[in-house]
Amino acid sequence: MKSTVVAVAAAVLAGGVNAGRVHAHRNAHQALFERKPQFNESEVCVPSCTTIYSTIVGEPTIVQPTRPAVTSTTKAVVPTSSGPVTVPTPVAQTCPTPGTYTFPATTVVVTETTTACAASTTKVPSGTHTLGGVTTVVTTATTVVCPYATTSTENGVVTSVIKTTTYVCPSAGTYTIAPITTTVTAPETTVVVPVVTTICPGTYTAPAVVTTITETSVVVYCPFTSSEAPAPTLAPAPTSPAPTSVAVSEPAKPSSAAPSPSAPALGGKGKLWAMTYTPYREDGNCKTAEEVMVDVGGIASAGFTTLRVYSTDCDTLPNVGAAARKYSLRLIVGIFIGKVGCDNGSPDVAEQISALKKWAEWDLVDLCVVANEALFNGFCTVSELAGLISHTKTELASVGYSGPFTTTDVVSAWIGNDVSAICSVIDVVATNAHAYFNSQTLPSDAGKFVAGQLAIVENVCGKPGYVMETGWPSAGKCNGVACAGEAEQRAAIESIGNELGPKVVFFSFKDDPWKQPGACDCEQHWGIASVFGAV
């Protein structure tokens, strides 16, 4: 079925969280490090929605076929049709036994903007994964009504549906609505996640296909292509094309972008690689060069080889750079985006690029990270961020930097957008993954969770991936089975280190009393120096 939106919902918070520049004053750089609930938050909402949506039963997108197979040379079981296709979502055809199947051409004419279920696929390794959902940011208490995609099972048939949820957001914050949790036992599996999609008016056609199946239990997805029509009643449906013969020897596998031909050598060689470092005192003011030198010496003595810095404020580059050189540490440098917009001419961006060009000690630098969770926070669009990365590459190349670039974001931002433009301008892919914000993850399983998140992001661009932030709080509330505490922090850090320590940047060096405690009462307690004896 389809459901027509009765009224246009208000735009989703055009400005996001009003985060100040990281170096402006002691409270402004808090936005840089506030933990983001990623997939399994109990409070869910989307701000500013005013439209009431009906519950819609979408076209099947998981396993149920919508068109029958006409012929089969082996008399295979013919799938049962569920009725005519009314929206151009991918059509899933189940071929239960080997044979030759014919799927006739189908044309769908959409006369008005329609909301329906669609399917998003991603590869995941074995383990429990929480995927999908709608993530948003609110700046004030808000009562909302909003749609979300989920699945419904009836008589063994799994169907995607759109439902609604109403929630009173008690305060400003970041919320994720209705994620789906799935457990995978195979080494690697492609998981289908239902998503809400908007279909514009036009004529959509899925061509006829004849396919020979040699494997059992193959599901074939037949996509539609669109041809916009100003008035479908005036444009006759196109003639069905002749059937195309397709030989299929195994289940179709989704393609991914080709890996970078010369992937940079990053990461550690043992269980430790990098730690995030910000030169702020407990009151939020800047540390002196001498204080930075002491901190970096402690980090080096703990066995870390690399520091990640986020921006150029507080004389980060000269002070941290000098300390890194003294203790033979490498650097991951960055440009921080703390407000809506990624204009290359922004004074904030220009100032940071200028500081990097002036410092230019590239023999210390292994990676440049342009923006931290800018997509998730709504600070950048995909095209803006891709443009900013390209601009930064050109600017830094002019003063001798030839190393790799990336941007980092949470998994929901990577899989919730078409990020192909970003994939084309980065050398490696990166994510921030905090198992504490998944209510079903024990501290001892933090490593498996983070590894699963990294695997998902690596598959998005088909490039090597790294975790730019991961950790666990030493104090705060329990989030389901994910409880904060000193013992829990040690268990989580050990689990992450054992699972993929050479590919993660631990967050962070010291606790940050200058932050607000947050809803989790944990924001001030992510320091892990004591775990590694780096105090």
Per residue in 77-91, pLDDT tens?
Answer: 343 333 455 556 555
DSSP 90: P
Q: Over the chain, what is the mean pLDDT? A: 73
More confidently predicted of 162 and 357 = 357
Least confident window among 223-237, 291-305, 417-431: 223-237
Least confident window among 104-118, 145-159, 224-238, 489-503: 224-238
Taking the CA atoms of 444, 447, 452 and 457 in sequence, report the sign of the dihedral they define.
positive
Looking at residue 133, what is its pLDDT? 67
Average pLDDT (474-483) is 96
- How is 209-229 classified by DSSP, letter by letter? EEEEE-SSSEEEEE--EEE--
Top-ranked range on mean pLDDT: pick from 60-64, 194-198, 206-210, 368-372 = 368-372
* Residue 384 CA from chain centroid, whole number: 17
Tell me whether residue 347 is exposed, middle or buried, using C-beta atoms within 10 angstroms of its C-beta: 0 to 12, 13 to 18, 19 or more. exposed
What amino acid is encoded at 191 in this protein? V
More confidently predicted of 136 and 34 = 136
Whether domain 274-532 has CATH 3.30.70.1070: the reply is: no
Domain extents in the chain = 3-248, 274-532
DSSP SS3 for 59: coil
Helix axes 382-397, 347-359, angle to 10 degrees: 30
Predicted confidence (pLDDT) per residue in 331-356, tens digit: 999 999 988 878 777 888 999 999 99
> Measured between alpha carbons, how far is 206 from 203 in angstroms, rounded to an integer?
10
Which residues participate in catalysis according to the annotation? 373, 469
Contacts of residues 455-459 at CB distance under 8 Å and 24 or more positions apart, as own/partner, are: 455/123, 455/124, 455/125, 456/122, 456/123, 456/124, 456/129, 456/131, 456/411, 456/414, 456/415, 457/411, 457/414, 457/429, 457/430, 457/431, 458/429, 459/122, 459/123, 459/256
Looking at residue 173, what is its pLDDT? 66
Predicted confidence (pLDDT) per residue in 452-467, tens digit: 999 999 999 999 999 9
> Measured between alpha carbons, how far is 423 from 406 in angstroms, rounded to an integer?
9
Is residue 49 within 8 A of residue 338, CB to CB? The reply is no
Looking at residue 145, what is its pLDDT? 67
User: Quick one: pLDDT band at residue 161, thresholds 50, 70, 90?
Assistant: low
Looking at residue 406, what is its pLDDT? 98
> Measured between alpha carbons, how far is 252 from 241 in angstroms, rounded to an integer?
23
Question: Both ends of the chain: CA-CA distance in Å?
Answer: 61
Phi, psi angles (nearest 5°) of residue 334? -155, 165
> Measured between alpha carbons, how far is 273 from 419 in angstroms, rounded to an integer?
27
Looking at residue 197, what is its pLDDT? 63
Cα separations in angstroms, 197 against 82, 152, 191, 317: 21, 17, 18, 44
Average pLDDT (188-192) is 72
Is residue 384 within 8 A of residue 421, CB to CB? The reply is no
CA atoms within 13 A on the CB side of 91: 32
pLDDT at 473 over 90: yes
> Measured between alpha carbons, how far is 232 from 202 in angstroms, rounded to an integer?
7
Looking at residue 157, what is its pLDDT? 57
Looking at residue 69, what is its pLDDT? 36
Average pLDDT (406-421) is 95
Of 26, 76, 67, 390, give the one whose Cα is nearest residue 207: 67
Neighbours of 55 (CB within 10 A): 11
Is the whole-model pTM more than 0.85? no
